[in-house]
Chain A
Amino acid sequence: MSATQPLIRLSGVSKGYPGFQLQDINLELPPGCILGFAGPNGAGKTTTIRIITNLIRPDGGRVEVLGRTWDRDEVAIKSRLGYVPEDNQLYEEATGYWLGNFLGRYYPTWDDAFFRILLEKFHVPGNKTVKQLSKGNRTKLAVALALAHRPEVLILDEPTSGVDPVVRHTLVQELLEVIQDETRGVFFSSHIIEDIEKVADRVTYIAGGRIALAGDKETILEQWQELTFRLKDADLLRQVQRLVPYVKESGLEVAAVTGAYNPRLLQELRLLAVGEVTRRPLGLEEIMLILAGNERPKAEEA
């Protein structure tokens, strides 16, 4: 695999279930990158991850992991992949140390010393069974197990969901350390946008089985802006709606949100406004709320 080749590449992937359709999923995880994969519950995040990890097969499209396909290189891919599932799938009857020993037999690159360091760092008692561990410690154990063979691709499905802020912080910091090696990549799925905003270099937002937003995080944050101003005349609202997709208005006061901000747009809006047009960059959570339809512009509702 060349250094510039994506670690994960999905091209036109689709999968259908009764009442749910994952459609035309295209995404790439380049080396040295943390990709934040966000979306509301039931949007298709876990289905996409299971397609990437070959736990389910797509109806259409192509999946490549580390430049290989699952039908040809199943074992080779799995030995270089780390995965932390949404739900705990570790044997409740096993201790952390035993699980480390068990996995160590299968991964050629397993580093037991590193595994024990991680357990110590995460304050996870390795001699206790999984059943005896708290939810936070189970998650940390799963992360330690996924990291100990130093995977080239780490896939995390909602690892921070249901754990306290201290554990979340520890996990997020660990992800940042992993990615210091520029050849590795992290695919980080979460509905906690704050975590994605902290660590991700790229963001993909999925809603209703389709990718609604994808790109470099900094670019997204630069392009999504809220512009507030007072209209010269109520009749000019239609012109605003033509320029900006999301518009809220109350009398002549307008709050418009664009996902493609540029200085020219600002100039055009100034021509329709009385006084100054105020610009405010949006956070990822606000952007995703708008995309999820929770913040429908009043003009559209009318």
Chain B
Amino acid sequence: MIIMWGLVTKDYYLLRRQAWWVLVLLFFSYFFGFRGGAAAVLTISSGITAYLLVLSSLSIEDKNNSLSFLRLLPMPARAIVDAKFMQLVLGGLLGEVCGLVIVAFISVTGLKTITGPEVIWGIISSLAIITIVYSPTLWLFFRFGMQAARIASFITWFAFWFGIVTLWQRFTIVTLWQKLYMGSMGPFPLSLVAAGVLLALLTVACFVFFLVLARRAFVRREMR
């Protein structure tokens, strides 16, 4: 754990000059909040933060050709993989905290009515989204390198954030979602809890699956 934490803090140190970008993008997510509500703010803020932290740290490793350098440090090779996956979770959580600050601001200023279930569901779904979207990207990085990870993240970014979200809104199921968000089915209806648990399990399964794949790939990978 200490080894991984050292690697994670290393990434934060190296990314210190890119931090202002995250703040700018979070500021923009505040404007989405007017239209989409708390779930949109949380999804966008955690998505942006995780994307920038994880992809930027992978870019830094690639640019400096530093995976070989890390591989020669006295630690198991799998710790390098674990640290990047840990960073994904931390990036998502950091984004959630920023998102909650924005949501609180929207709520306090009375710009939009925010409900409890909307916030809870927003946190769960946004963490699930970033994990399901970025875990395969991390695996691709450790298996094939930065180019593959970059292409994959580019595709998933556009496919998910624009394509699927746009299509989703056309389905009538969105009405059910809105009901869940607004709490008109009660604060914690059984269907919401069941969906949340199912999504959390799916997220954990996806995370663990790609973590194991990435570990195997990186330990076997030759650093030419």
- Alpha-carbon gap, A103 to B66, bound state (A): 13
From the candidates B10, B74, B76, name the one contacting A107 in the complex (CB within 8 A).
Answer: B74
Segment touching A, from B36-44, B57-65, B87-95 = B57-65
A8 to chain B, nearest CB (A): 15
Find residues 26-69 in chain B having any chain A CB closer than 8 Å to their own CB.
Answer: 60, 63-66, 68-69
> Does A276 make an interface contact (CB < 8 A)?
no
Given known A56-B224, A91-B14, A93-B14, contact A106–B66 (CB-CB < 8 A): no
> Does B73 make an interface contact (CB < 8 A)?
yes
Find residues 60-103 in chain A having any chain B CB closer than 8 Å to their own CB.
Answer: 74-76, 78-79, 81, 83, 85, 87-94, 98, 102-103
> Does A168 make an interface contact (CB < 8 A)?
no
Q: When the two chains form their complex, are residues A78 and B74 in contact, meaning their CB atoms are under 8 A apart?
A: yes
Given known A55-B223, A93-B14, A93-B17, contact A78–B64 (CB-CB < 8 A): no
- Alpha-carbon gap, A107 to B72, bound state (A): 11
- Chain B residues near A90 (CB-CB < 8 A): 64, 66, 69
Q: Binary interface profile of A, 129-156, with partner B (CB < 8 Å = 1, else 0)? A: 0000000000000000000000000000
B2 to chain A, nearest CB (A): 8
- Chain A residues near B223 (CB-CB < 8 A): 50, 55-56
Least CB separation from A74: chain B residue: B76
> Does B155 make an interface contact (CB < 8 A)?
no
Least CB separation from A149: chain B residue: B74
Q: When the two chains form their complex, are residues A102 and B6 in contact, meaning their CB atoms are under 8 A apart?
A: yes
Find residues 28-67 in chain A having any chain B CB closer than 8 Å to their own CB.
Answer: 50, 53-57
Interface secondary structure of B, over-half rule? helix
- Alpha-carbon gap, A81 to B68, bound state (A): 14
Q: When the two chains form their complex, are residues A106 and B73 in contact, meaning their CB atoms are under 8 A apart?
A: yes
- Chain A residues near B10 (CB-CB < 8 A): 91, 102
- Alpha-carbon gap, A102 to B11, bound state (A): 11
- Chain B residues near A264 (CB-CB < 8 A): none
- Alpha-carbon gap, A76 to B75, bound state (A): 9
- Chain A residues near B74 (CB-CB < 8 A): 75-76, 78-79, 106-108
> Does A105 make an interface contact (CB < 8 A)?
yes
Q: When the two chains form their complex, are residues B60 and A55 in contact, meaning their CB atoms are under 8 A apart?
A: no
Q: Binary interface profile of A, 107-129, with partner B (CB < 8 Å = 1, else 0)? A: 11000000000000000000000
> Does B20 make an interface contact (CB < 8 A)?
no
- Chain B residues near A106 (CB-CB < 8 A): 3, 6, 73-75
Q: Binary interface profile of B, 90-129, with partner A (CB < 8 Å = 1, else 0)? A: 0000000000000000000000000000000000000000
Q: When the two chains form their complex, are residues A92 and B6 in contact, meaning their CB atoms are under 8 A apart?
A: no
Residues of chain B whose beta carbon lies under 8 Å from any beta carbon of chain A: 2-3, 6, 10, 13-14, 16-17, 60, 63-66, 68-69, 71-77, 222-224
Residue contacts A-B, CB under 8 angstroms, 13 given? A54-B71, A78-B75, A85-B68, A87-B65, A88-B64, A89-B68, A90-B66, A90-B69, A91-B64, A91-B66, A92-B64, A93-B17, A105-B2
Other A-B pairs, 7, CB within 8 Å; known A55-B71, A78-B73, A88-B64: A75-B74, A76-B74, A89-B68, A90-B69, A91-B14, A94-B14, A102-B6
Residues of chain A whose beta carbon lies under 8 Å from any beta carbon of chain B: 50, 53-57, 74-76, 78-79, 81, 83, 85, 87-94, 98, 102-103, 105-108
